[in-house]
Chains A and B, each alone.
Chain A
Amino acid sequence: MRNQANTSNTRRSLLVFVMMSLFAVPAMGDELLIRITKGADSAIPVSVVPFSESGQMPSGDKISRIIQNDLEMSGEFDPLPPEQMLSLPSKGSDVFFRDWRLLGQRYVLVGQVSNAGGKLEAQYELYDVSQEKRLVGATASAPVSASRTLAHHISDRVYEAITGVQGAFSTKLAYVTLERRADGPLYRLQVSDVDGKRARIRLESDEPILSPAWSPDAKKLAYVSFETGKPAVYVHELSSGERKRVADFQGLNSAPAWSDDGRSLLMTLSKDGNAEIYRMNLASGDLKRLTNHWSIDTEPSYDHTGEGFFFTSDRSGGPQIYHKPSEDAEPRRITFGSRYNARPRPDSSGDYVYYVHMRDRAFHIARTNLETGDETILTRTESDESPSVSPNGRMLIYATKSGGNSVLTVIAADGGAAYSLPASRGDVREPAWSPIVQ
């Protein structure tokens, strides 16, 4: 049935079913596979020595293996395969720096993990090989069921000690999968770790789900669902599965984006005639209209100040990125490089804005340096959509096509290293990188 038409689904609204996450642990989702396609040339050689283990270990990946994967995924590190190591120390006193210098390593992570009455406890130490100096020595623990959480936490500590930038391995990804079944499409909103593991289904519908957006505390998702037959904006609390339809006006209800304090959503509504951007106070439901133009204004995203916002408008004839430094300021056009630039996502430092950029009929992810105005195209793939910046500004996830399916790809924010996250079946799209939560 590939290449065949989808059945027209304009009338399927009556048949919609929604699977609510009524249980504390939502249904298992489709784990995403990791395919590292390109490492950065400047990747730092680091050795994650397999941790020594005592007591019953959880099934699945070992803690040190998960850390090694995390560091490799970031593109900033080039971990040494354990089989090439000359020794396998598990504590600092057993580390012989000469061995690691011989192997050209800059950093070595060693550790031990034990199971103490259902609790995993990890002791780990990070060494700088050339300075023969311990950078980190710490203990961390977690329930056995949360071994991946423990591993990502250690990855964050290692990453920060070496780069000086907060790690983002403990964050989450939200995304939408689409499976085209014989009896129609099946959309699933899922949340997983950043390495694609521990995927959980949060919403299931045979009508489209779009534009998931994380609340600043990473406890809620706002998104667009067509489950009533037309687009409406929902806010979904992940722990309870409770959700609320917050915007269901005549016309478009779309493109939700959270304010820094989590109390408001920017969104696109067309209730007053055409697509305009509004701010909704979530407690009161009050709306303030923030754009006023006959053109399409959509895809808002707050800037790093939390006062202004970026958005897409075709007021110049085609879609371009605009910025309003405050709600009542005049919009300023940011992109000029081609006739199609859309869906801006600024980083948290205010240095860059990332967006979808058309060149020679191909759609790439590009970024503009907000100080100089310089534009750089970051991707070589050609049907790129939905860029989302990691909360530490170092990486970028976006959706692209591979072998006819939509897959997620992660790249370093400067365009370096890449890995892709295909779904086991069907499409995976609309990624949203969660904020860092303490």
Chain B
Amino acid sequence: MKFTASQKVLALIFSFGLMAGCSSTGDTMGEDGMEGGSGSGSASGQESGSTVFGGDDGSGVSSSEMTEQERQEAEARAEAAQTEAMRDITTFYFDFDTAEIKQEARDVLIAHARFLQANPMQNVRITGHADERGTKEYNLALGERRANAVQRFLIVNGAARGQTETVSYGEESPVVMGSSESALAQNRRVELVFE
């Protein structure tokens, strides 16, 4: 999948919007999880949900249970859709001379990891990049460090090592030309390429 320049810019704008959305949704999900007495994941959420309901009594409960089930299904569908939407984000940004995965990238990367776990035949190429500042060879190593950080994160969250491949381009493959702060920020990145 090759993106044109304008598509990339659009994707970028879209991803910033989405990321803002994600972090607030993330909070809500956390609260739901606490109510259900369990972490995220629709299957385990349902299980714990039904255990809680089993302790309740009265006929009114069954109708409410139906409603609750529907609600959970809708929630699962929404979550799946959201996961799907999150997976549209395949570029992750870094601060200068660091390989630390930013907080807002984590949910998206988890979505990718789950997808890889669910699709064992799917492979992903993880390309690491640096901005033009500093030396080319150090940036090559820095790009690799970034790609490795993302690779580790995907593996910890369910992807198999064999599904991933990393390559660093250092500063050789900028997305945006120029030396403006915004250009530099967009070039310090890791891209996931599903093949």
Interface membership of B114, Cβ < 8 A = no
Q: Collect the chain A residues with CB atoms within 8 Å of residue B118's CB.
A: none
Check A5/B137 contact, CB under 8 A, given A10-B125, A231-B168, A252-B168: no
Contact B175 A363 (CB under 8 A): no
Annotate B108-131 by CB proximity to A: 1 below 8 A, 0 otherwise.
000000000000000001010000
Q: Which of B133, B135, B144, B174 is within 8 Å of A312, CB to CB?
A: B135
Check A254/B179 contact, CB under 8 A, given A4-B5, A230-B167: no
Q: Which of B18-71 contact A (CB under 8 A)?
A: none
Contact of A3 among B142, B144, B173, B176 (CB under 8 A): B176
A7 B2 Cβ-Cβ under 8 A: yes
Report B180 CB to chain A, min CB distance, Å.
Answer: 9
Q: Are B132 and A11 in contact (CB under 8 A)?
A: no
The 8 Å CB contact of A10, one of B4, B8, B167, is: B167
- B140: chain A residues within 8 A (beta carbon): 210, 231, 252, 254-255, 298
Task: Flag if A343 contacts B175 (CB, 8 Å).
Answer: no
Partner of A268, one of B2, B97, B137, B174: B137
B177 within 8 A of A: yes
Supposing A226-B172, A274-B145 touch, asked if A254 and B137 sit within 8 A by C-beta, the answer is yes
Complex Cα distance, B174 from A2, in Å, reads 13
- Asked whether any CB of chain A lies closer than 8 Å to the CB of B101, the reply is no
Instruction: Choose from A343, A383, A386 the contact partner of B179 (Cβ within 8 Å).
Output: A383
Binary CB contact string for chain A from 291 to 325 against chain B (1 if under 8 A, 0 otherwise): 00000101100000000000010100011000000
Q: Decide: A5 and B178 in contact? CB cutoff 8 A.
A: no
Residues of B close to A210: CB separation below 8 A: 136-137, 140, 170, 172
| Measured CA separation A8–B1 after assembly (Å) | 9
A266 CB to closest chain B CB (Å) equals 12
Please indicate the chain A residues that have their CB under 8 angstroms from the CB of B136 in the complex.
Answer: 210-211, 385-386, 430
B127 contacts A270, C-beta separation under 8 Å: no
Contacts of A251 in B (CB 8 A): 144, 166
Shortest CB-to-CB span from B191 to chain A, Å, is 7
Per-residue CB contact flags for chain B residues 127-163 toward chain A (1 = under 8 Å, else 0) read 1000011111110111011001000000000000000
- Report if A342 contacts B (CB, 8 A): yes
* B178 contacts A252, C-beta separation under 8 Å: no
Contacts A3-B178, A9-B173 given; does A298 touch B167 at CB 8 Å: no
**Nearest Cβ on chain A to B163's Cβ, whole angstroms:** 16
Could you tell me if B133 and A5 are in contact, using CB atoms closer than 8 angstroms? no
Q: Is the CB of B137 within 8 A of A6?
A: no
B135 near A299: Cβ-Cβ < 8 Å: yes
Q: Decide if the interface of chain A is mainly helix, strand, loop or mixed.
A: loop
> Chain A residues near B141 (CB, 8 Å)?
252, 254, 268, 270, 274-275, 296, 298
In the complex, the answer to whether A6 meets B174 with C-beta atoms within 8 Å is: yes
- The winner among A8, A356, A404, A430 for most chain B CB atoms within 10 A is A8
Q: Output the nearest chain A residue to B168 by Cβ-Cβ distance.
A: A252
Which residues of A206-226 have CB atoms within 8 Å of chain B's CB atoms?
208, 210-211, 226
Contact indicator B132/A5 (Cβ below 8 Å): no
Tell me which residues across on chain A come within 8 A of B145, comparing CB atoms: 274-275, 296
> Does B132 lie within 8 Å of A383, measured CB to CB?
yes
Q: Hey, which chain A residues are within 8 Å of B2, CB to CB? A: 7-8, 11
Is B74 in the interface zone, CB < 8 Å from A?
Answer: no
Contacts of B97 in A (CB 8 A): 314, 318-319, 340
The smallest beta-carbon distance between A210 and chain B, in angstroms, is 6
The CA-CA distance from A7 to B48 in the complex, in Å, is 48
Proximity string of chain A (54-84) to chain B, C-beta cutoff 8 Å, 1 when within and 0 when not: 0000000000000000000000000000000
Cβ-based interface call for B76 (8 A): no
Is the beta-carbon distance between A358 and B8 smaller than 8 angstroms? no
Known: A299-B137, A340-B97. A252 touches B144 (CB 8 A): yes
CB contacts (< 8 Å) of B134 on chain A: these are 319, 340, 342, 356, 358, 363
Kindly state the separation between the CA atoms of A4 and B177 in the bound complex, as whole angstroms.
Answer: 6
A234 shortest CB reach to chain B, Å: 15
Question: In the complex, which residue of chain B has the Cβ closest to the Cβ of A297?
Answer: B141
A-B contact pairs, 17 of them (CB 8 A): A2-B177, A4-B5, A8-B175, A10-B127, A10-B169, A252-B141, A252-B168, A268-B141, A296-B141, A298-B137, A298-B140, A314-B97, A340-B97, A342-B138, A343-B138, A363-B133, A430-B136
A positions within 8 Å CB-CB of B: 2-11, 180, 208, 210-211, 226, 229-231, 251-252, 254-255, 268, 270, 274-275, 296, 298-299, 312, 314, 318-319, 340, 342-343, 356, 358, 363, 383, 385-386, 401, 404, 430
User: Taking beta carbons and an 8 Å cutoff, which residues of B are in contact with A?
Assistant: 2-5, 8-9, 97, 125, 127, 132-138, 140-142, 144-145, 148, 166-170, 172-179, 191, 193, 195
Q: A211-B137, A270-B144, A319-B97 are in contact. List 8 more A-B contacts (CB 8 A).
A: A8-B8, A10-B167, A11-B2, A252-B144, A274-B148, A296-B142, A340-B134, A342-B135
